[in-house]
Amino acid sequence: MRRKSLTETKPDFRKLPQEFYTRDVLDVAPDLIGKNLIVRMNDNTCRSFQLTEVEAYRGEDDKACHASKGRTERTSVMFGIGGHLYVYLIYGMYWMLNIVTGEKDNPQAVLLRGAQGINGPGKLTRELGIDRSFYGENLVTSTRIWLEDSGQRLDYKTGPRIGIDYAGEYWKSVPWRFYI
DNA sequence: TCAGTGATTAGG
DNA sequence: CTAATCACTGAG
Protein backbone atom coordinates (compact mmCIF):
# COMPACT_ATOMS: atom_id res chain seq x y z
CA MET A 1 0.00 0.00 0.00
CA ARG A 2 1.23 3.45 -0.92
CA ARG A 3 2.68 5.45 1.90
CA LYS A 4 1.04 8.78 2.49
CA SER A 5 3.14 11.76 1.51
CA LEU A 6 4.54 14.07 4.16
CA THR A 7 2.12 16.82 3.23
CA GLU A 8 -0.82 14.46 3.49
CA THR A 9 0.15 13.33 6.97
CA LYS A 10 0.78 16.80 8.34
CA PRO A 11 -2.30 17.77 10.34
CA ASP A 12 -2.52 21.23 8.76
CA PHE A 13 -1.94 20.24 5.14
CA ARG A 14 -5.21 21.86 4.18
CA LYS A 15 -4.45 25.18 5.84
CA LEU A 16 -4.74 28.11 3.45
CA PRO A 17 -1.35 29.78 2.86
CA GLN A 18 -0.40 33.46 2.86
CA GLU A 19 -0.77 33.61 -0.94
CA PHE A 20 -4.50 32.88 -0.60
CA TYR A 21 -5.02 36.14 1.26
CA THR A 22 -2.59 38.34 -0.66
CA ARG A 23 -5.02 38.74 -3.56
CA ASP A 24 -7.74 41.23 -4.38
CA VAL A 25 -10.74 40.98 -2.08
CA LEU A 26 -13.06 40.32 -5.02
CA ASP A 27 -11.05 37.16 -5.78
CA VAL A 28 -10.69 36.06 -2.16
CA ALA A 29 -14.30 36.59 -1.07
CA PRO A 30 -15.96 34.07 -3.45
CA ASP A 31 -13.09 31.63 -2.83
CA LEU A 32 -13.97 31.64 0.87
CA ILE A 33 -17.39 30.09 0.19
CA GLY A 34 -17.18 26.41 1.21
CA LYS A 35 -13.88 26.81 3.05
CA ASN A 36 -13.64 25.65 6.67
CA LEU A 37 -12.97 28.07 9.49
CA ILE A 38 -11.25 26.22 12.34
CA VAL A 39 -11.37 27.63 15.86
CA ARG A 40 -9.77 26.24 19.00
CA MET A 41 -12.28 26.60 21.80
CA ASN A 42 -11.56 27.33 25.46
CA ASP A 43 -11.65 23.62 26.31
CA ASN A 44 -8.83 23.14 23.74
CA THR A 45 -11.02 21.24 21.26
CA CYS A 46 -11.19 22.50 17.68
CA ARG A 47 -14.42 23.18 15.83
CA SER A 48 -14.86 23.53 12.08
CA PHE A 49 -17.37 25.83 10.38
CA GLN A 50 -17.97 25.74 6.62
CA LEU A 51 -18.46 29.29 5.35
CA THR A 52 -21.70 30.00 3.48
CA GLU A 53 -21.94 33.78 3.29
CA VAL A 54 -19.39 36.59 3.00
CA GLU A 55 -19.17 40.21 1.84
CA ALA A 56 -16.28 42.12 0.25
CA TYR A 57 -15.30 45.64 1.38
CA ARG A 58 -12.81 47.13 -0.99
CA GLY A 59 -10.56 50.15 -0.60
CA GLU A 60 -10.86 53.79 0.34
CA ASP A 61 -13.24 54.53 -2.56
CA ASP A 62 -15.83 52.04 -1.33
CA LYS A 63 -18.13 54.19 0.82
CA ALA A 64 -19.32 51.08 2.69
CA CYS A 65 -15.76 50.12 3.64
CA HIS A 66 -14.60 51.41 7.03
CA ALA A 67 -11.31 52.39 5.40
CA SER A 68 -13.15 54.99 3.27
CA LYS A 69 -12.97 57.44 6.18
CA GLY A 70 -9.21 57.12 6.25
CA ARG A 71 -6.91 55.28 8.60
CA THR A 72 -7.97 55.18 12.24
CA GLU A 73 -6.83 53.11 15.19
CA ARG A 74 -9.70 50.69 14.64
CA THR A 75 -9.18 50.22 10.89
CA SER A 76 -5.37 50.19 10.90
CA VAL A 77 -5.14 46.41 10.45
CA MET A 78 -6.93 46.74 7.08
CA PHE A 79 -4.03 48.84 5.81
CA GLY A 80 -1.60 45.98 6.40
CA ILE A 81 -1.04 42.84 4.33
CA GLY A 82 -3.83 40.24 3.97
CA GLY A 83 -4.26 37.24 6.25
CA HIS A 84 -4.97 39.09 9.50
CA LEU A 85 -8.30 39.53 11.29
CA TYR A 86 -10.22 42.80 11.52
CA VAL A 87 -12.58 42.47 14.49
CA TYR A 88 -14.84 45.23 15.81
CA LEU A 89 -17.91 45.66 18.02
CA ILE A 90 -21.17 46.90 16.52
CA TYR A 91 -24.32 48.15 18.27
CA GLY A 92 -22.63 47.57 21.61
CA MET A 93 -23.29 43.83 21.41
CA TYR A 94 -21.98 42.05 18.36
CA TRP A 95 -18.44 41.31 17.25
CA MET A 96 -17.92 41.39 13.48
CA LEU A 97 -15.28 39.06 12.07
CA ASN A 98 -13.43 40.16 8.93
CA ILE A 99 -10.49 38.74 7.03
CA VAL A 100 -8.07 41.34 5.70
CA THR A 101 -6.97 40.70 2.10
CA GLY A 102 -4.60 42.12 -0.49
CA GLU A 103 -1.28 43.89 -0.25
CA LYS A 104 -0.11 46.47 2.26
CA ASP A 105 -1.64 49.97 1.98
CA ASN A 106 -4.59 48.66 -0.05
CA PRO A 107 -7.25 48.36 2.65
CA GLN A 108 -9.72 45.55 2.02
CA ALA A 109 -11.53 42.93 4.07
CA VAL A 110 -14.12 40.18 3.85
CA LEU A 111 -16.93 40.15 6.42
CA LEU A 112 -17.87 36.62 7.47
CA ARG A 113 -21.68 36.67 7.58
CA GLY A 114 -22.54 33.01 7.97
CA ALA A 115 -21.51 29.38 8.16
CA GLN A 116 -23.36 26.09 7.84
CA GLY A 117 -26.07 26.12 10.52
CA ILE A 118 -25.33 29.73 11.50
CA ASN A 119 -27.00 32.69 9.77
CA GLY A 120 -25.80 36.14 10.71
CA PRO A 121 -22.41 37.68 11.47
CA GLY A 122 -23.21 38.41 15.12
CA LYS A 123 -24.41 34.87 15.77
CA LEU A 124 -21.33 33.47 14.04
CA THR A 125 -18.89 35.25 16.35
CA ARG A 126 -20.98 34.43 19.41
CA GLU A 127 -20.87 30.74 18.47
CA LEU A 128 -17.12 30.86 17.79
CA GLY A 129 -16.21 32.86 20.88
CA ILE A 130 -14.66 35.67 18.82
CA ASP A 131 -13.96 38.89 20.67
CA ARG A 132 -11.61 41.86 20.81
CA SER A 133 -8.62 39.60 21.55
CA PHE A 134 -8.75 38.26 17.97
CA TYR A 135 -8.06 41.69 16.47
CA GLY A 136 -4.97 41.45 14.24
CA GLU A 137 -4.65 37.66 14.59
CA ASN A 138 -2.56 36.09 11.80
CA LEU A 139 -4.52 33.29 10.10
CA VAL A 140 -1.36 31.68 8.72
CA THR A 141 0.50 31.37 12.03
CA SER A 142 -2.23 31.39 14.69
CA THR A 143 -2.81 28.23 16.72
CA ARG A 144 -6.35 29.20 17.71
CA ILE A 145 -7.95 30.21 14.41
CA TRP A 146 -7.20 29.46 10.76
CA LEU A 147 -8.84 28.43 7.47
CA GLU A 148 -8.66 25.11 5.66
CA ASP A 149 -9.61 23.97 2.18
CA SER A 150 -12.61 21.65 2.42
CA GLY A 151 -11.82 20.07 -0.93
CA GLN A 152 -15.29 21.11 -2.11
CA ARG A 153 -16.13 23.75 -4.68
CA LEU A 154 -19.63 24.96 -4.03
CA ASP A 155 -21.88 27.06 -6.25
CA TYR A 156 -22.73 30.46 -4.87
CA LYS A 157 -24.95 33.43 -5.64
CA THR A 158 -24.11 37.11 -5.55
CA GLY A 159 -26.12 40.13 -4.43
CA PRO A 160 -25.86 43.57 -2.83
CA ARG A 161 -24.34 43.91 0.62
CA ILE A 162 -26.54 44.12 3.72
CA GLY A 163 -26.96 46.97 6.20
CA ILE A 164 -25.08 49.76 4.43
CA ASP A 165 -27.85 52.27 3.64
CA TYR A 166 -25.47 55.12 4.41
CA ALA A 167 -23.11 54.20 1.54
CA GLY A 168 -25.08 55.75 -1.35
CA GLU A 169 -26.88 54.15 -4.28
CA TYR A 170 -23.83 52.92 -6.16
CA TRP A 171 -21.96 51.25 -3.31
CA LYS A 172 -25.23 49.87 -1.95
CA SER A 173 -25.87 48.15 -5.27
CA VAL A 174 -22.58 46.48 -6.14
CA PRO A 175 -23.01 42.67 -5.91
CA TRP A 176 -20.22 42.02 -3.44
CA ARG A 177 -22.15 39.65 -1.21
CA PHE A 178 -21.44 36.00 -1.94
CA TYR A 179 -23.63 33.27 -0.49
CA ILE A 180 -24.85 29.72 -0.95
C1' DT B 1 -41.40 47.79 13.21
C1' DC B 2 -38.02 48.99 16.93
C1' DA B 3 -35.17 49.00 21.29
C1' DG B 4 -30.90 47.37 23.28
C1' DT B 5 -26.02 48.45 23.92
C1' DG B 6 -21.25 50.54 24.16
C1' DA B 7 -16.92 51.31 21.39
C1' DT B 8 -15.43 54.53 18.06
C1' DT B 9 -15.14 58.85 15.87
C1' DA B 10 -15.23 63.78 14.77
C1' DG B 11 -15.74 68.09 16.71
C1' DG B 12 -15.62 71.81 20.38
C1' DC C 1 -15.57 66.75 27.07
C1' DT C 2 -20.10 65.73 24.02
C1' DA C 3 -23.05 63.48 20.80
C1' DA C 4 -23.93 60.80 16.59
C1' DT C 5 -23.17 56.64 14.43
C1' DC C 6 -23.33 51.76 13.71
C1' DA C 7 -21.15 45.79 7.99
C1' DC C 8 -26.99 43.32 14.09
C1' DT C 9 -30.46 40.58 16.55
C1' DG C 10 -34.69 39.16 18.63
C1' DA C 11 -39.06 40.26 20.29
C1' DG C 12 -43.84 41.75 19.07
Report the pLDDT value the prediction gives residue A156, as an integer from 0 to 100. Answer: 97
- What CATH number has the domain bearing residue A103? 3.10.300.10
> Nucleotides on strand C with an atom closer than 7 A to protein CB?
5-10
Q: Which of A21, A59, A44, A14 is CA-nearest to residue A176? A: A59
Structural domain of A65 = 19-150+161-179
In a domain, residue A3? The reply is no
A99 beta partners? A85, A110
Report the pLDDT value the prediction gives residue A10, as an integer from 0 to 100. Answer: 55
In a domain, residue A56? The reply is yes
Does the nearest atom of strand B lie within 7 Å of A79's Cβ? no
Does the nearest atom of strand C lie within 7 Å of A177's Cβ? no
In a domain, residue A11? The reply is no
Distance CA A176, CA A58 (A): 9
In a domain, residue A170? The reply is yes
The pLDDT tens digits for A90-112 are: 999 999 999 999 999 999 999 99
pTM confidence score: 0.92
Report the pLDDT value the prediction gives residue A4, as an integer from 0 to 100. Answer: 46
- Positive or negative, the CA dihedral A155, A158, A163, A167 is positive
Report the pLDDT value the prediction gives residue A163, as an integer from 0 to 100. Answer: 96
Q: Which of A142, A151, A133, A172 is CA-nearest to residue A13? A: A151
Report the pLDDT value the prediction gives residue A3, as an integer from 0 to 100. Answer: 42
Which stretches within A22-142 are classed as H helix? 25-32, 121-128
Residues 37-66, chain A, CB closer than 7 Å to nucleic strand C = 55, 57, 64-66
Q: Interior CA angle at A107 toward A101 and A109, to 5°?
A: 45
In a domain, residue A12? The reply is no
Residue A161: which nucleotide is closest by CA–C1'?
A: C7
Q: Evaluate whether A83 touches A143 at the Cβ level (below 8 Å).
A: no
Which stretches in chain A have pLDDT values below 70?
A: 1-11
Distance CA A154, CA A35 (A): 9
Report the pLDDT value the prediction gives residue A2, as an integer from 0 to 100. Answer: 44
Report the pLDDT value the prediction gives residue A147, as an integer from 0 to 100. Answer: 98
In a domain, residue A30? The reply is yes
In a domain, residue A86? The reply is yes
Burial of A4 (0-12, 13-18, 19+ CB in 10 A): exposed
A37 beta partners? A49, A147
Report the pLDDT value the prediction gives residue A11, as an integer from 0 to 100. Answer: 57
Domain count of chain A? 1
Q: Evaluate whether A150 touches A50 at the Cβ level (below 8 Å).
A: yes
